[in-house]
Amino acid sequence: MEIGMPELDRVIHEPVRLRIMACLDTLEPKEQVDFVYLRDLLEVTDGNLGAHLQELEEAGYIGVKKRFVGRKPRTFISATTKGRAAFGEHVEALREIIEGGEAGKKG
Amino acid sequence: MEIGMPELDRVIHEPVRLRIMACLDTLEPKEQVDFVYLRDLLEVTDGNLGAHLQELEEAGYIGVKKRFVGRKPRTFISATTKGRAAFGEHVEALREIIEGGEAGKKG
């Protein structure tokens, strides 16, 4: 019944941030997503998404760039190398917890 | 890059509670774990574990029973049917988020 104690990263674990990182992790290294795309995908408000992005940026997990497209300011988001590594470790920790349970059931 | 929006249960998602449920989910239907065992397994304080158990109990996910073993009061914890179902759904939602990311990478 041992499930081990893998560390979960509380910055990433929060549901909206977990989804943000899962989404960004699918991108190619220099690819970015648009703020509006992410907001609509995650079905959150501008303010909510902005707050979560700020936490991820402060942790060094994402890069946020604003630039003008025509006359409109747009915000582009990408995962950093550090962010991808942290997300990968987080997924591993989650798997250990989840699969620890499943292994226990079989045993 | 679609990752879908499976619902994560915020009662279960919190790291300590996720581990509690993963542990309880490995037990046979009428099996229970001891409070002290769980506390040591999860490396948390009595107060911290107590607070998380209360939240899970209020959600109807676990049953908590106190009884005397010899002269010592002991606390036993088990998952309810509702709790096992909720945990199972949560694990599915986590997998969708995690594996959505991985599927995206391959595509």
Determine the pLDDT at residue B101: 54
Residue range B29-74, pLDDT digits in tens: 889 999 999 999 999 999 999 999 999 999 999 999 999 988 888 9
Determine the pLDDT at residue A99: 83
β-bridge mates for residue B73, sequence order: B68
Q: Which residues of chain A have pLDDT under 70?
A: 1-6, 101-107
Judge whether residue B83 has pLDDT over 90. yes
CA distance B9 to B26: 19
Which range (A15-19, B23-27, B98-102) has the least confidence? Answer: B98-102
The interface pTM score, or ipTM, of the predicted complex is 0.79
Return the number of other C-beta atoms located less than 10 Å from residue A58's C-beta. Answer: 10
Q: Which of B98, B102, B105, B106 best probes binding to A when mutated, by most A CB atoms within 10 angstroms?
A: B98
Residue range A13-31, pLDDT digits in tens: 999 999 999 999 999 888 9
- Residues in B touching A91 (Cβ below 8 Å): 98, 101
A-B Cβ pairs (cutoff 8 Å, strict): 73
- Return the HEC string of chain A: CCCCCCCCCHHHHCHHHHHHHHHHHCCCCCCCEEHHHHHHHHCCCHHHHHHHHHHHHHCCCEEEEEEEECCEEEEEEEECHHHHHHHHHHHHHHHHHHHHHHHHHHC
